[in-house]
Structure 1
Amino acid sequence: MMARLVPYIFSEDAKSQAEFYVKALGGEIRSVQTFGDLPGSAEELKNKVIHLDMEAAGVPLFLSDSPSGPIHRGNGTDLSLIFGTEDEAREAFAKLSEGGVVKDPLQVQFWGALFGRLEDKFGVSWQVSNEFAPIQS
C-alpha cells in the first residue's frame, strides 16, 4: 500500500493564506474552487474557497475556507519543513514568522542542525530545519 500525505489546512481566508505561503516559501497556487462552483450553493458562501491546490517550498498543500465559523487550532500537529541549506531554512523561518509568533528561535541544536518552531499569522505551527549529515566516526 502506498499513499501521498498532503496537509489540508482549513482557513478563515484561504486565498490570503495561500498567497502568504507562496510569497514566503516560493511555489504557486495551482487551482481554486469556490462554493459558488457547487450547484445550489448558499449565496453567502459563493466566494468562499471550497478547495485550493497549491505548492509551497516544493510541498503540496490543500486549503479551504471554513464554512462553519472560526478555526480552532490544536497543539497536536506541526508542519515540518526540512531545507537543503542553512540559508534556505533561515529565509523560510524569517518569512513564515512575519506577523506570527516564534515559539523556539531558529538556532543550531545539540544534534548539529538548525531547528526552530513558529506559529504563523494564520495560527499554523511550523518546524523549520536544515538537512544535517552527522560526521561518521
Structure 2
Amino acid sequence: MGTLKPYLISEDARSQAEFYIQSLGGEVVSVLTHEEATGVQNELKDKVMHMCIAVAGENNIFMADAVEPPTQGSGISLSIAYNTEAEAREAFEKLAAGGNVKFPFEFQPFGIFYGELTDKFGVSWMLTSEPQAGQS
C-alpha cells in the first residue's frame, strides 16, 4: 500500500507554509534548500527544494519553491475532516482570509458540515466535520 502525500509547488513555499501552519495548526518538519541539497551557488541556492509541514494533526504536506512559474487551478482540492464543527469552522475562516469562498461552511442536507474555498495562494480546500449529538 502507498501513502498519498500532497506536494505543492509555490512561488514562496516558506510564506505559504507559515500561512497553513497559522490557519490549521502545525509545524515545519523539515526544510532543504537547493544549496543544502546540491551545493548550487546560483539564484536557486536559497530556494526551497523540499519542505515538509505537518498540519491539522499529523497530516503532512510537502512543498517546494517553483523553478518556473507555477500554474494555479489544477482541479485538485485538499480535504480535511475535523472531529468538531468548531475546529473545522476556525480553520475554514483562517484559510478563507484573502481567498475566495465557493461554499460557506454550513450544515448540508447530506448530513455533515461542509465548506469549500480557494485560499490566497490558489489552492482549493474542502473542510468537513460530522455533527455532534443533537446538532444539525
Q: TM-score, normalised by structure 1?
A: 0.90
Aligned to 2:4: 5
d(CA) in 1 for partners of 2:41 and 2:78?
A: 33
- State whether structure 2 residue 82 is matched by structure 1 residue 95: no
Aligned to 2:81: 82
Which one-letter code corresponds to 2:101 in the other structure?
V
Q: CA RMSD in A?
A: 1.8
Aligned to 1:127: 126
d(CA) in 2 for partners of 1:130 and 1:24?
A: 17
Aligned to 1:60: 60
What is the 5 A alignment of 1:11-22?
Answer: 11-22=10-21
- State whether structure 2 residue 38 is matched by structure 1 residue 39: yes
- Deviation, structure 1 residue 42: 5.0
- Deviation, structure 1 residue 41: 2.0
SS of 1:94 mapped into structure 2: helix
User: Unpaired runs of 5+ in structure 2?
Assistant: none
For these two proteins, the number of residue pairs brought into alignment is 133
After the TM superposition, list the runs of 4 or more consecutive aligned residues in structure 1 that deviate by more than 4 angstroms: none
Identity of aligned residues (%): 49
CA deviation vs aligned residue, 1:65-123 (integer Å, no higher than 9, x gap) = 0112x211234210011100000110010001111111111111111211111001111
Which one-letter code corresponds to 1:120 in the other structure?
D
Aligned to 2:117: 118
User: Unpaired runs of 5+ in structure 1?
Assistant: none
SS of 2:91 mapped into structure 1: helix
Which one-letter code corresponds to 1:56 in the other structure?
V
- Deviation, structure 1 residue 130: 0.4
Q: Which moved more, 1:72-81 or 1:90-99?
A: 72-81
